[in-house]
Amino acid sequence: MLWLGQQSYSAPFPRIPDSIRAKHSISDLSIRPFGIFEKDLEISFKERSRPYLATKILQCCTLDNYGDPPEKDFFLDLTVGKRNECLLTLATLGGSSLLNFSTPCLNRACNQEMEIEISIDELVTLQHQYDDSDSFIIRVGDESMIVRKPKGYDQLEWLKNSYADEDEAIKEMINTLLSRNEKLVKDRDLLFSDEWVQIINDSMDEFDPLVNFNFMVYCPYCGNEGRYDVDLEKVSLQRLKDAQIRLIESIHRIAKHYHWSEQQFFSIPPWRRSHYLALIENEKNS
């Protein structure tokens, strides 16, 4: 259950999706690449709270018409699925629109590593199918209840708490996401039965697809087809961490070659840094 969240570029910056801005009365927001500017070095990927880390990165890279970031609460008030959409957009900005990773075949007799590609455009399209509402109704027989989608601040609150076991954590999350104004289930014990927990999980997969994302994969080695889970938040944060490492390595190469300071490095626009790095590489190979 991933609701908890676990502990050179010169093109115009793209805008935050209209479905996000309109809902939050933001006139115009754009998202810039990560791993280019000095401020990006201030992000510590040693932060153990992934929801907190994701919020800091999104706030760092999102700007309004005046070049200012939105308030932190803006991203905490987004659903987890929408936050993942923003992270995915940021992680692929200025580069490939595909997420690439490897995973072993679920067939133990095979266990071959498979290379998987996921299109960001397809993921965004999938998310947009369920943008109209931040809640959904679950029905079983004559019983029904309204459940809202988890948001960023829910993840932070859950991480503050201690739970005896996973079962207790799940019940607390379910209780948090129930509609406070319309609790329609007559028998409260039903909410925490195995049947209802499974129904809520399945409904969350359907109505907030980028949270517990999974998909079917055909193994080219043994022909086995299995359902694979992908932690999109984790994958996005890893790509952003890699971008920060590349920035640090670029600073190191230029500083070593030209004896420039970090301040001098960042006083040069990214496209010129790329040329200097190319010159250094050419000298190395000549």
DSSP track, 148-170: EPPBHHHHHHHHHS--SSHHHHH
Identify whether 277 is part of a domain.
no
User: In terms of domains, do 30 and 90 share one?
Assistant: yes
Identify whether 203 is part of a domain.
yes
Q: Minimal CA–CA distance to 207: which of 150, 156, 158, 155?
A: 150
Q: Minimal CA–CA distance to 36: which of 61, 62, 14, 56?
A: 61
User: In terms of domains, do 33 and 155 share one?
Assistant: no
Identify whether 271 is part of a domain.
no
Contact 59, 152 (CB under 8 A): no
User: In terms of domains, do 45 and 124 share one?
Assistant: yes
Q: Give the separation between CA 49 and CA 155, rounded to whole angstroms.
A: 9
User: In terms of domains, do 13 and 149 share one?
Assistant: no
Strands, E, within 198-264: which ranges?
Answer: 214-218, 225-229
Residue range 206-229: average pLDDT?
88
Residue range 248-267: average pLDDT?
94
pLDDT at res. 190: 57
* 130-144, 202-216, 227-241: range with highest mean pLDDT: 227-241
Q: By residue range, what is the domain housing residue 123? A: 2-128+231-240
User: In terms of domains, do 171 and 106 share one?
Assistant: no
The reply to whether the predicted model has a pTM over 0.85 is no
Domain total in the chain: 2
User: In terms of domains, do 74 and 186 share one?
Assistant: no
pLDDT at res. 142: 72
pLDDT at res. 246: 95
